[in-house]
Structure 1
């Protein structure tokens, strides 16, 4: 429970209709801010993707899923199990409020983030893993074909909340069925989010423990509710936290907006930092370890000088 009343200002995301590739690239993309795109032609998926249809077309091949007793998934503390189910069984279970067949309890929640055939080597691509379902959806062609990275099924039990995290590539979240709330934070607010890798330690963004995370109240909260057929543009590095207000199916499409050589070639999930960023962090870690050789007052002084060096660079943020 929070020890201080928390009532953040919720900044609504802009919504656009009548968007094609040219308008997207000219009016929305250069702003590097999230936006909801409505009334796009997504094909027949919105009407066809019922439970029975998805079960029949998706087939019985095994999918790896997250299973949790709690509705708030915590990737840092791993409050979930990894289990496998046939896809047709999984979609029916995920839509249930109570389960007669279960792993932990009748109230357990399910989450699928689809994977490649070999997750260590292959990216998720619905055209390869779910070809019959892929035929129903039209991916908005707002990027060049050689920029495509992955297309990922996201299927959640009603009420399930996914941890706050960022991705290193731009993406479109296509909400095909169901309703989903999305809360987002700017990359500039990273100092207030208590990061562990690409994830925030603040699990409950609606009722955070401000005694543990006092700076979190300074993070500006952007928010939208996606209805079936809405598409959310999430620029790289924007933090996002989702709640499935209903059972629903979404498809994330990620693409490389930086040159291909900037990305880690071993990254099949799209969440490893660019190679230059990883090298910089390693260098920083070595520098901080070197400072440990000095007495405390010297460590403090030279660490502050390092911070000033970073702030003086033209690319440093002003945090406004």
Structure 2
């Protein structure tokens, strides 16, 4: 039986400045496509030849996958290092005369800080010449800035479904990208492993393995070159590069700085209070193991009811 899931389109906004973003878009806490923003000369200049030449031969760490669907849980890819200009030209190819695994392999760059364990990704520091071409929308205060991640994908590459703990803008400079999103409320249906969903193929999922997945409401959009997607924190997203594409993800801290893990350089570690709560829950569940099965079942159900009452006490979508 063919899997069909209703697709909820995202709202589109044009002529968005900071005031309108903060007034009409941001308070809704839902994803939105922003069109017609002034992103600078990157729109016209960022060809394959220009990017590779301007970025130069500095070495970058990339993902290389034999299949289009990259799975971060099972790690069906390898990490390799290439000069940036070589990587860009390979990523733009459909067939590769030079390759690591096969002529059809896919490439993906998620830029890193100088020391990924300590430094955040910042395009102005890692790729200053290219950063000079792009005008990042100033929809947040300067001291809220967390990172600006340079992303380059082979055509056809699909990235795993995951959430981030910070609000972000996905700026699609070149190429076309499909983005599928799921509300934080639908987390019970996404079979989570940390911040990632085990459901890799959102178009043709294994319903024997993931029977609750059809309950998740699917939001979807296609980003054209020049579009910007606002993704609120905790919204799950899965992307497919319909074409060779170059983009920049900008993350900012919308909560007070002390809420975030100070060791987080990727923007995907749960807030410190959430991490403490999960640790307390783990200890509580371990304590329940001291009881006979009948009592363990009864008190575990009571805990679930209390958590549900807390979780569903708001109208957040």
Superposition TM-score, scaled by structure 1 size: 0.97
Kept after mapping to 2: 8 A contact 1:109/1:160: yes
Distance 1:283 1:317 in 2: 23
Kept after mapping to 2: 8 A contact 1:263/1:274: yes
Structure 1 314/187 Cα, relative in aligned 2: closer, same or farther at 3 Å? closer
Is 1:295 the counterpart of 2:292? The answer is yes
| Cα deviation 1:107-161 (Å, max 9, x = unaligned) | 1000000000000000000000000000000000000000000000110000000
Is 1:221 the counterpart of 2:232? The answer is no
Distance 2:204 2:211 in 1: 12
Is 1:50 the counterpart of 2:22? The answer is no
RMSD of the alignment, in Å? 1.2
- Aligned to 2:212, the other structure's residue is in SS state helix
For 1:175, the equivalent position in structure 2 comes to 172
Give the drift of 1:295.
1.4
Give the drift of 1:294.
1.2
Is 1:30 the counterpart of 2:54? The answer is no
**How many residue pairs get matched?**
317
| Cα deviation 1:60-87 (Å, max 9, x = unaligned) | 1111000010000000000000001010
Is 1:244 the counterpart of 2:241? The answer is yes
Distance 1:156 1:283 in 2: 40
Unaligned stretches of 5+ in structure 1? none
Distance 1:157 1:300 in 2: 49
Distance 1:78 1:281 in 2: 25
For 1:122, the equivalent position in structure 2 comes to 119
Alignment of 1:139-288 (within 5 A): 139-288=136-285
Distance 2:214 2:39 in 1: 37
Distance 1:176 1:314 in 2: 38
| Cα deviation 1:171-225 (Å, max 9, x = unaligned) | 0000000000000000000000000000000000000000100000000000000
Give the drift of 1:311.
2.4
| Cα deviation 1:257-286 (Å, max 9, x = unaligned) | 000000000000000000000000000001
Distance 1:275 1:90 in 2: 37
Kept after mapping to 2: 8 A contact 1:311/1:317: no
Is 1:313 the counterpart of 2:307? The answer is no
Kept after mapping to 2: 8 A contact 1:189/1:319: no
Structure 1 stretches of at least 4 aligned residues deviating more than 6 Å after TM superposition? none
- Aligned to 2:19, the other structure's residue is in SS state helix
Give the drift of 1:316.
4.2
For 2:86, the equivalent position in structure 1 comes to 89
Distance 2:94 2:51 in 1: 19
Superposition TM-score, scaled by structure 2 size: 0.98
Unaligned stretches of 5+ in structure 2? none
Q: Please identify, of 292-301 and 86-95, the stretch whose mean Cα deviation from structure 2 is larger.
A: 292-301
Kept after mapping to 2: 8 A contact 1:310/1:316: no
Structure 1 307/319 Cα, relative in aligned 2: closer, same or farther at 3 Å? farther
